[in-house]
C-alpha cells in the first residue's frame, strides 16, 4: 500500500478478514504493542470483526501512559519555578501527577509551552538566554532521536540555559518482561512499526527464537493492522514462530542508521520504572556522561520528590493487557478525559481514552481467566 485511498479499500479489508476467519481453528491471544494500533483497532471495530476465538490484548506501547509518576511530579516541580520555560509536547499537559498536571501549573502562572519539535525548545533557549529552558524528553525509540539531536546541538553550541528531563523507554525489554510474567497469555505480538523504522528488526529475533512466539512488524492503518493479525494467525495455526515485516514501506531490517547513531552517542541504557507496571531492567535511556550537564533533574535538584498514585486507577493492569478499560470501576464515572485519574485516560494513545471515545456505551465484558 502506498497511497491513502489504498488504506481505505473495503474489498481488501474483506479479503484479509476472510483469510483470518478461514485460517482460525482455535483460540489465540495476540498483543498489539502500540497504543496507536489500539486506537486503530477500537476506532474501526477491528476486534469486533474478527473470529470470536481471536482475542486482541492491548499492550504497554503508549509513551505518555508509561512515563513514571515521579518523573511527572519532577516535571511539575521544575515547571513551577519562575526562571523556567518548560517545553513539552501537548499530550503531556493533562497527564495527572500526584496532585495536579502541567496545565494546572500553567494556569497558576508557570511558563509551560507546547513545542512541536525538540529543536524549537533549543531555539527558544538561544533566543531567551536569561531564562532556563527545559525540554520534557519522553517516549519510545521513536521520539528519542529528535530529543538526542537537540541535546547534541546544545552541547556542540555550548548553550548553557538548556536542559532536558529525560524519561525514554525501550520496547524490547518491555516485550521481554511481558513474556517472562507468569500471567502472560500472549501468543503472538504485533510490533510497533514506527519503533522498528528507527531501530530495525534485529532486536526481536532473539526473543522470537527464545520464546517461540510469532512477531509481526505492523503499521497503524486499519489494513496494516488486519494484515499483521492475518500473518500472526497464519503463523500460530501452522505452528511457526517467525519475525515478519508486514510494514516494509516504512521499516528496513537495519532501521534508520543515522538516528541509531545519535541515540547511541547521546544516551545510555538504564533501568526504568514504567508507570503502573514497575521497574523493568535495562528498559530506559538516560543522558550519557558527556551530556550530563544538560540533565534537568540534577540541575534543579528534584530527584527526591515523593509520589502517590490514585488508589482507584488500574492503568497498570490495562497496560499489561490484564483487564480492558471497561473492567475498571472508575471508567467513565470517576475517571473521564476531563477529569482523568490515570494517564491512560488522557493520552492520544491510551487504551482508556480509546474505549471512552469509541466504546463508552458498550457493556463491559470480563474475559474469562483474566487477572484483576
Ligand atoms: S479508566 Fe481511569 S482510573 Fe481506570 S484504569 Fe483507566 S485511567 Fe485508570
pLDDT in tens, 289-342: 999 999 999 999 987 776 778 889 999 899 888 899 999 999 999 999 988 999
CB 32 within 8 A of CB 56: yes
Q: What's the gap in Å between 32 CA and the centre of ligand 1?
A: 19
The pLDDT, as a whole number, for residue 305 is 72
Q: What is the mean pLDDT of residues 162-170?
A: 97
Work out the pLDDT band at 2, boundaries 50, 70, 90.
low
Helices (H) and strands (E) in the chain, counts: 17, 11
Whether the pLDDT of residue 369 is over 50: the answer is no
pTM of the model: 0.89
Looking at the chain, the whole-number percentage of residues with pLDDT higher than 70 is 96
Residue among 276, 331, 339, 356 whose CB has most ligand 1 atoms within 8 A, to mutate: 331
Checking if the pLDDT of 172 tops 70, the result is: yes
Sequence-separated (6 or more) residues with CB below 8 Å from residue 126: 157, 159, 162
For the chain, give the mean pLDDT: 92
Q: What is the pLDDT of residue 365?
A: 52
Q: Who contacts 21 (Cβ-Cβ below 8 Å, separation ≥6)?
A: 50, 51
Q: Find out whether the beta carbon of 331 lies less than 6 Å from any atom of ligand 1.
A: yes
Backbone angles phi, psi at 7, to 5 degrees: -75, -15
Ligand 1 within 6 A of 145 CB? no
Cell numbers linked to 63: 509513551
Instruction: Say if ligand 1 is within 6 A of residue 359 CB.
Output: no
Q: Report whether residue 350 contacts ligand 1, using a CB cutoff of 6 Å.
A: no
Query: Dihedral sign, CA of 208, 187, 167, 220?
Result: positive
Residues 27-82: tens digit of each pLDDT: 999 999 999 999 999 999 999 999 999 999 999 989 999 999 999 999 999 999 99
Rounded to the nearest whole angstrom, what is the distance from the C-alpha of residue 358 to the centroid of ligand 1? 15
Q: What is the pLDDT of residues 188-231, one digit of tens each?
A: 999 999 999 999 999 999 999 999 999 999 999 999 999 999 99
Q: Write out the DSSP string of 65-80.
A: HHS-HHHHHHHHHHHT
Ligand 1 midpoint to CA 117 (Å): 29
Q: Computed over its alpha carbons, how large is the radius of gyration of the chain? A: 21
Which of ligand 1's atoms lies nearest the C-alpha of 317?
A: 5
Amino acid at each position: 500500500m502506498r497511497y491513502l485511498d489504498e488504506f481505505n479499500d473495503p474489498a481488501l479489508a474483506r479479503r484479509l478478514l476472510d483469510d483470518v476467519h478461514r485460517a482460525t481453528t482455535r483460540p489465540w491471544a495476540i498483543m498489539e504493542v502500540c497504543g496507536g494500533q489500539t486506537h486503530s483497532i477500537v476506532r474501526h471495530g477491528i476486534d469486533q470483526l474478527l473470529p470470536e476465538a481471536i482475542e486482541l490484548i492491548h499492550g504497554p506501547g503508549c509513551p505518555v501512559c508509561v512515563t513514571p509518576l515521579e518523573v511527572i511530579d519532577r516535571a511539575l516541580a521544575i515547571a513551577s519555578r519562575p526562571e523556567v520555560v518548560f517545553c513539552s509536547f501537548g499530550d503531556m499537559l493533562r497527564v495527572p501527577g500526584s496532585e495536579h498536571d502541567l496545565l494546572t501549573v500553567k494556569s497558576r502562572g508557570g511558563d509551560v509551552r507546547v513545542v512541536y519539535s525538540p529543536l524549537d525548545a533549543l531555539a527558544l533557549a538561544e533566543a531567551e538566554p536569561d531564562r532556563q529552558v527545559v525540554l520534557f524528553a519522553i517516549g519510545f525509540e521513536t521520539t528519542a532521536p529528535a530529543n538526542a539531536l537537540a541535546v547534541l546541538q546544545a552541547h556542540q553550541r555550548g548553550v548553557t540555559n538548556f536542559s532536558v528531563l529525560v524519561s525514554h523507554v525501550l520496547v524490547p525489554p518491555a516485550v521481554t518482561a511481558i513474556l517472562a510474567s507468569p500471567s502472560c497469555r500472549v501468543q503472538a505480538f504485533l510490533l510497533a512499526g514506527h519503533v522498528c523504522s528507527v531501530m530495525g528488526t534485529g532486536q526481536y529475533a532473539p526473543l522470537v527464537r527464545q520464546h517461540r512466539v510469532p512477531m509481526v512488524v505492523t503499521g497503524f492503518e486499519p489494513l496494516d493492522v488486519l494484515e499483521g493479525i492475518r500473518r500472526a494467525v497464519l503463523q500460530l495455526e501452522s505452528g511457526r514462530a517467525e519475525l515478519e515485516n508486514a510494514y516494509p514501506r516504512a521499516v528496513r531490517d537495519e532501521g534508520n542508521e543515522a538516528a541509531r547513531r545519535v541515540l547511541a552517542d547521546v544516551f545510555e541504557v538504564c533501568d526504568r520504572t514504567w508507570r503502573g507496571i514497575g521497574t523493568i531492567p535495562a528498559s530506559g535511556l538516560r543522558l550519557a556522561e558527556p551530556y550530563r550537564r544538560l540533565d534537568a533533574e540534577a540541575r534543579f535538584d528534584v530527584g527526591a520528590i515523593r509520589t502517590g498514585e490514585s488508589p482507584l486507577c488500574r492503568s497498570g493492569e490495562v497496560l499489561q493487557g490484564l483487564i480492558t478499560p471497561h473492567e475498571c470501576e472508575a471508567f467513565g464515572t470517576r475517571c473521564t478525559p476531563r477529569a482523568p485519574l490515570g494517564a491512560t485516560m488522557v493520552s492520544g494513545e491510551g487504551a482508556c481514552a480509546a474505549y471512552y471515545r469509541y466504546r463508552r456505551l458498550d457493556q463491559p465484558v470480563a474475559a474469562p481467566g483474566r487477572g484483576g
